[in-house]
């Protein structure tokens, strides 16, 4: 069975104010937003009303219709927002958006929802449907995109927008890479520590992921097939990786 992988990380809770970390595949909107637009990686889920969600979506330039429904995108693409519409920080407006394959957006939305409502294999973790709830994001597969490099390339790749047009380059932040027990390299611009537990999130049935459109955080009415489609595996951080991207520059 083909699996679509994301990474989901839970940082050990050492002190007040620390947040669980969810790590997404690096080929996504979030990296450009986190690193190149200074949105950062720690957010607060506030279980927004539909009206608030819609306002946030419009603020991100993802209100309907949006550029992702037109060529070169169109059918099969969705407008992905960063920060997510389910977090309070989006109220600042001018979030970044990116047109991504629906499957990818659905996978991310489902991971967030299971986390917020502590469903499926997150049943003993996450937010337990009790906002406000803090979470951080980090990224795997960091070599795949210029935005993920340790000396990041913040030049717009042509699919990084805000409501008012192509996103402009901002100041670049320092990067941090970590090795997980499985060997996977994790990019955590928000920081992480050796021993922090990270969860691999994978989906058992890819077809199901493609069929059902999920919107992050909107409500808690997913059926069991959708909720239980997600598998969560532990993968702790074992080392800091120095200069990792410099060794891998030929990709
Ligand atoms: C990294 O990318 C490869 C190739 O697309 C994919 O097979 C793998 O599942 C990804 N790993 C993670 C942890 O996302
Ligand atoms: C909010 O939107 C969801 C999804 O469109 C819908 O199922 C739900 O009934 C809406 N809630 C309210 C209170 O309108
Ligand atoms: C995957 O989900 C689809 C759609 O619900 C279903 O038709 C199919 O039988 C499922 N495949 C497996 C292997 O469970």
* Ligand 3 binding pocket includes 212 (Cβ within 6 Å): no
Ligand 2 centre from 25 Cα, in Å?
29
Q: Identify the three-state secondary structure at position 121.
A: helix
pLDDT given for residue 233 in this prediction:
81
Closest to 34 (Cα-Cα) out of 125, 194, 52, 26: 26
Given strand 96-101, what is the order of strands in its sheet? 77-82, 96-101, 161-162, 165-166
pLDDT given for residue 107 in this prediction:
86
pLDDT given for residue 3 in this prediction:
37
- Tell me how far apart the alpha carbons of residues 216 and 86 are, in angstroms, rounded to a whole number: 6
Per the CB < 8 A criterion, the answer to whether 98 and 206 are in contact is no
Residue with CA at minimum distance from ligand 2 atom 11 = 50
Ligand 1: which of 141, 144, 251 to mutate, judged by most atoms within 8 Å of the beta carbon? 141
Residues near ligand 1 with C-beta < 6 Å? Answer: 5-7, 25, 140-141, 184
Ligand 2: which of 218, 221, 223, 226 to mutate, judged by most atoms within 8 Å of the beta carbon? 218
pLDDT digits (tens, 9 = 90+) for 133-184: 988 777 776 654 455 655 556 677 778 788 988 887 655 455 578 888 988 8
- Tell me how far apart the alpha carbons of residues 85 and 97 are, in angstroms, rounded to a whole number: 11
Strands, DSSP E only, in 30-91? 42-45, 77-82
pLDDT digits (tens, 9 = 90+) for 184-231: 888 787 778 888 877 778 888 888 888 777 766 666 677 888 889 988
> What average pLDDT does the segment 89-115 reach?
89
Ligand having the closest approach to the CA of 85 = 2
CB environment 154-183: b (16+ within 10 A), e (fewer): bebeebbbbbeeebeeeeebebbbbbbeee
């Amino acid at each position: 069975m083909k699996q679509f992988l994301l990474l989901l990380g839970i940082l050990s809770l050492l002190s007040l104010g620390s947040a669980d970390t969810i790590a997404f595949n690096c080929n996504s909107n979030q990296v450009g937003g986190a690193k190149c637009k200074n949105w950062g990686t720690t957010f607060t889920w506030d279980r927004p009303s539909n009206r608030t969600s819609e306002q946030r979506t419009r603020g991100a330039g993802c209100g309907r219709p949006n550029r992702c429904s037109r060529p070169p995108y169109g059918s099969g693409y969705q407008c992905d927002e960063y920060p997510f519409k389910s977090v309070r920080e989006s109220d600042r407006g001018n979030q970044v958006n990116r047109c991504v394959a629906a499957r990818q957006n659905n996978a991310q939305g489902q991971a967030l929802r299971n986390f917020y409502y502590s469903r499926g294999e997150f049943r003993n973790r996450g937010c337990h449907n009790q906002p406000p709830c803090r979470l951080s994001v980090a990224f795997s597969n960091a070599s795949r995109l210029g935005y993920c490099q340790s000396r990041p390339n913040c030049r717009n790749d042509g699919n990084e927008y805000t409501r008012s047009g192509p996103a402009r380059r901002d100041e670049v932040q320092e990067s941090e890479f970590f090795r997980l027990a499985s060997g996977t390299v994790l990019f955590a611009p928000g920081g992480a520590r050796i021993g922090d537990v990270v969860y691999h999130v994978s989906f058992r049935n890819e077809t199901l992921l493609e069929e059902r459109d999920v919107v992050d955080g909107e409500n808690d009415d997913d059926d069991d097939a959708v909720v239980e489609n997600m598998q969560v595996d532990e993968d702790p951080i074992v080392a800091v990786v120095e200069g990792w991207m410099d060794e891998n520059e030929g990709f």
